[in-house]
Amino acid sequence: MTGTPKPLLGINHVALEVEDIDGALAFYGRYFDFSLRGRTEGAAFIDMGDQFLALVQREGRAADAARHVGLVVTDRAGLRRRMLGDGVTFVSDERFDFLDPWGNRIELVAYPDIQFLKTPEVMQHLGCGDLRKTDDALEQLREKGITPPEAG
C-alpha cells in the first residue's frame, strides 16, 4: 500500500439478504415511508434520503445473532408500539433491535441521539422538519471537531 490512508466518508448503502423481495418491500413498507430507487432480478433498492438500502434475494439464509445494521428514524416510540402490535420479534429491550422475517437484525436509533448529520436539504426532502440533536450527541460531535449548525 502506498500513500496516506484516506478517511471513510460514510455508507452509500447496506445490503440485506431476504428470501422474498416482494415480501420484504411489503414488510419494510409497513413501517417506513420510502421510495423505490430501482429494482432488478433478485434485488430492490429503497431510498433513505441520500443513501439507500439494498434488499437482495437469497434462498435459505440463516439468521445471525450479532451482525446487524442500524437504521436512523424520527419516532422510535411510535414505531415500537406498532411493531409490537404486529408481533414483530424484538431481541433487545435495552436497544431497539428487532428481527425482520428473514432473520436480519435491525437496530433503530433516533436521529436526535446520534452523532450523525444530514444536510438541511436532505432533511427537508424527507419531511423531517427541524429535528434537534440531544446535548449528548452535540458533545460527541464537538469532541470530533464538528460544530453542527444548530450548536452555533
131: in domain: yes
Range of the domain at 148: 114-152
Residue 138 lies in a domain: yes
pLDDT of 68 > 60? The answer is yes
Structural domain total, the chain: 1
Q: What pLDDT score was predicted for residue 152?
A: 44
In a domain, 130, yes or no: yes
pLDDT for 1:
54
pTM value > 0.75 = yes
pLDDT of 71 > 60? The answer is yes
Residue 60 lies in a domain: no
pLDDT for the residue 63: 67
Q: How far is residue 16 from each of residues 68, 87, 107, measured CA to CA in Å?
A: 10, 21, 13
- Domain membership of residue 93 (yes or no) is no
Answer whether residue 134 is part of any domain. yes
